[in-house]
């Protein structure tokens, strides 16, 4: 495909996404179901050493035991996992414990395991499924405009998404390997694509990366408790910029089931490592979902870790479909079902509890996080 065809295809996709009917029934997560995540105590911890090597290609494994363990988690477990560490630019670190309100039973986690028994015997790990379905976005008009302009680069080698004037969501493994903060996490920076400010008329369309400093980084304990088959459920981290940016951002929401999203598709764009300097966009259907993870075969390469997964979600207040962030692209998982291993690319879903936690990180008042 030449560039023009690519652009035409892209436009076609973008237009098609606009054509949906209204949802058929009460689709969005009822607002009264969002629990309260209440900070309880904050205590100082030792300064991290920032010695771990960044994980560029996270791979996990989950078998039926792991599925069972996840289904059996209690509110106490969630309370533990939703507690979090905060690391400041001066290298100091705190641990904040949280309490939960509005989480009634262990069934808080029970999400449908709608496993489709596809008869594929894939035994080797793949990043690209069939024909590479990724689009490199070119041209200022797209790159500097919503939704692509919400994509930012993370200096540790990942991607992130702007979710407020000051906040960027990325994957936890981009700053912490499960045991230790990674090299580069202390002076982590966020890269924005901006027009190149020069009078060189031979390159009027050139964009450059402008790096912004981060004031603090927050990581849930669910990730920090060490690499385990369930820690991928908490592979997200929030970065707060020192100064507000002036780019459009995309709001976060509780992930609805994929059936309730326009086109039953997810989308994300990132800085895939095999296409240096390019913003790479892709979309795909969802193959499987658990309460915490979205299993899909969207083509992706390691640099795309931390990309914001978004979909068009029905906004019942505004009575229209809106693109909202529903998850974070994590990595790769072998899922063992009935003795058969399947490989998937995996995104973390923002459950109501995770939404409540990140919402509190963003706006600092947990009482304002009961509505989306």
Structure tokens that stand for 363 in this block = 């706006």
Tokens 């533990």, residue? 80
Rounded-to-integer distance, Cα 233 and Cα 58, Å = 13
Pairing of strands 189-195, 167-170: unpaired
In the residue annotation, 173 being an active-site residue is answered as: yes
Q: Does 197 bind ligand NAG (CB under 6 A)?
A: no
Quick one: which of 353, 336, 236, 339 has its CA closest to 288? 336
The minimum distance between CB 287 and ligand NAG, in angstroms, equals: 23
The minimum distance between CB 199 and ligand NAG, in angstroms, equals: 8
Q: Does 203 bind ligand NAG (CB under 6 A)?
A: yes
In the residue annotation, 305 being an active-site residue is answered as: yes
Which letter, b or e, does each residue of 150-175 get, where b requires 16 or more Cβ atoms within 10 Å of its Cβ?
Answer: bbbbbbbbbbbbbbbebbbbbbbbbb
Q: What is the DSSP string of 142-197?
A: HHTSTTGGGEEEETTTEEEEE-SSSEEEE-GGGTB-SSSBBTTSTT-EEEEEEE--
The minimum distance between CB 110 and ligand NAG, in angstroms, equals: 6
Q: Does 92 bind ligand NAG (CB under 6 A)?
A: yes
Among 40, 74, 90, 316, binds ligand NAG (CB under 6 A): 90
Among 22, 200, 365, 371, binds ligand NAG (CB under 6 A): 200
Q: Which of 231, 290, 305, 330 is catalytic?
A: 305
Q: Does 74 bind ligand NAG (CB under 6 A)?
A: no
Q: Does 105 bind ligand NAG (CB under 6 A)?
A: yes
Stretch (H or E) spanning 75: helix 75-82
Q: Which of 57, 63, 77, 229 is catalytic?
A: 229
* Residue among 131 and 202 whose Cβ is closer to ligand NAG: 202
Rounded-to-integer distance, Cα 72 and Cα 50, Å = 34
* Residue among 90 and 316 whose Cβ is closer to ligand NAG: 90
Q: Name the segment binding ligand NAG (CB under 6 A); options: 35-43, 85-93, 121-129, 363-371.
A: 85-93
In the residue annotation, 198 being an active-site residue is answered as: no
Structure tokens that stand for 142 in this block = 């797209």
Q: Which residues bind ligand NAG (CB under 6 A)?
A: 88, 90, 92, 105, 107, 110, 200, 202-203
- Name the residues annotated as catalytic: 173, 229, 305
């Amino acid at each position: 495909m030449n560039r023009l065809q690519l652009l035409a295809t892209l436009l076609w996709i973008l237009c098609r996404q606009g054509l949906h009917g209204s949802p058929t029934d009460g689709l969005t997560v009822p607002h009264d179901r969002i629990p309260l995540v209440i900070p309880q105590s904050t205590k100082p911890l030792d300064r991290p050493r920032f010695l771990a090597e960044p994980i560029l290609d996270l791979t996990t494994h989950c078998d039926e035991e792991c599925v069972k363990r996840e289904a059996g988690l209690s509110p106490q477990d969630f309370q533990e996992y939703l507690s979090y560490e905060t690391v400041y630019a001066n290298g100091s670190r705190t641990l904040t414990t949280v309490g939960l309100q509005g989480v009634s039973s262990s069934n808080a986690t029970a999400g449908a395991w709608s496993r489709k028994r596809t008869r594929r015997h894939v035994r080797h790990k793949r990043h690209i499924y069939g024909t590479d379905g990724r689009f490199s976005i070119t041209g200022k008009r797209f790159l500097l405009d919503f939704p692509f302009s919400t994509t930012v680069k993370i200096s540790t080698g990942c991607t992130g998404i702007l979710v407020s004037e000051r906040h960027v969501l990325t994957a936890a493994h981009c700053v912490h390997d499960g045991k230790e903060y990674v090299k580069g996490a202390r002076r982590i920076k966020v890269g924005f694509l901006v027009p190149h400010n020069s009078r060189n008329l031979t390159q009027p369309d050139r964009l450059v990366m402008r790096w912004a400093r981060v004031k603090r980084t927050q990581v849930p304990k669910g990730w920090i408790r060490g690499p385990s088959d369930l820690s991928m459920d908490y592979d997200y981290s929030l970065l707060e910029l020192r100064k507000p940016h002036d780019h459009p951002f995309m709001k976060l929401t509780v992930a609805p089931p994929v059936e309730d999203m326009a086109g039953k598709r997810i989308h994300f764009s990132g800085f895939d490592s095999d296409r240096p300097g390019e913003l790479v966009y892709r979309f795909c259907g969802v193959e499987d979902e658990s309460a915490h993870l979205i299993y899909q075969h969207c083509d992706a390469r390691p640099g795309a870790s931390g990309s914001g997964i978004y979909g068009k979600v029905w906004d019942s207040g505004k009575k229209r479909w809106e693109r909202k962030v529903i998850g974070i692209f994590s990595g790769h998982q072998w899922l063992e079902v009935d003795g058969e291993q399947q490989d998937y690319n995996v995104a973390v879903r923002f459950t109501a509890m995770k939404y409540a936690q990140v919402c509190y990180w963003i706006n600092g008042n947990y009482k304002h996080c009961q509505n989306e």
